[in-house]
Chains A and B, each alone.
Chain A
Amino acid sequence: GQQVMQIPQYQHVQEGEDFTTYCNSSTTLSNIQWYKQRPGGHPVFLIQLVKSGEVKKQKRLTFQFGEAKKNSSLHITATQTTDVGTYFCAGFSSGGSNYKLTFGKGTLLTVNP
């Protein structure tokens, strides 16, 4: 079945440093979604990328979708303590179930003030 892998599993940075998490799928994706889960909270949708090579920005966050639609990345510039949490990517397999969204295991980001 479809597998979505994320690296790194954990990342600790000093406030102000940049952060990147990478997502790779074993199959071509119809789209990729990113979620953030604060400690003790539930996942919250951040963004969806649909087109090959698509790049989207949300303030200090930059999301990319690979040309082959099998990988994605999330980059945070100049991290802040409010960025702490686990970042998940998730995707629907192209040609697969329309309802089964497969999540990566997430990257836990901690920020030292």
Chain B
Amino acid sequence: SQTIHQWPATLVQPVGSPLSLECTVEGTSNPNLYWYRQAAGRGLQLLFYSVGIGQISSEVPQNLSASRPQDRQFILSSKKLLLSDSGFYLCAWSGSKTSGGASSFLYFGPGTRLTVT
């Protein structure tokens, strides 16, 4: 069965420090991968998605970046964190390459709660 891992679960970082969040998926190949951010009490904001190794699409211009060095690994990074980067970061994957496909829904990881102080 497929599983998705994210770490760390919680993180407290000072303003201006770098960030690296990692997400890995097991039990599937060539997944679509996603990074979402959820501010406290708010909805889900799509940050990046990737349909293959080295292919990254950015949805929101900001000081964050994403990379996909391996098929089932997705990394979210920042060189200098801002206070506004605080939030709940969720990695997700889907199996379908078409929007209406039977497996186009998302499986979310457990998330990382980031607090920038």
Residues in chain A within 8 A of chain B (CB atoms): 30-31, 33, 35, 41-45, 48, 50, 88, 90, 92, 96-106, 108
Contact = CB atoms under 8 A, between A and B. Distances in A.
Contact of A31 (B41, B49, B104): B104
21 contacts: A30-B99, A30-B100, A31-B104, A42-B110, A43-B44, A43-B106, A45-B105, A45-B107, A48-B105, A98-B98, A99-B49, A99-B57, A99-B99, A100-B49, A100-B59, A102-B46, A103-B44, A103-B46, A104-B43, A106-B43, A106-B44
Nearest to B105: A45
B43 A98 contact: no
A45 B34 CA distance: 15
A43 B59 contact: no
Nearest to B45: A103
A99 B52 CA distance: 12
Given A42-B110, A45-B106, A45-B107, A100 B46 contact: yes
Main secondary structure of the interface of B (DSSP, over half): loop
Contacts of A41: 110
- Chain B interface extent, by class: 20 to 34
Most chain A CB within a 10 A radius of its CB, from B34, B104, B111: B104
Interface in B46-94: 46, 49, 51, 57, 59, 90
Contacts of B98: 98
Nearest to A45: B105
Contact of B99 (A31, A43, A45, A108): A31
B43 A33 contact: no
A48 B44 CA distance: 18
Contact of B90 (A43, A45, A99, A102): A43
Contacts of B43: 88, 103-106
Contacts of B100: 30-31, 50, 92
B90 A92 contact: no
Nearest to B109: A42
A42 B90 contact: yes
Closest 4 CB pairs of A and B: A105-B43, A92-B99, A103-B44, A42-B108
A99 B32 contact: yes
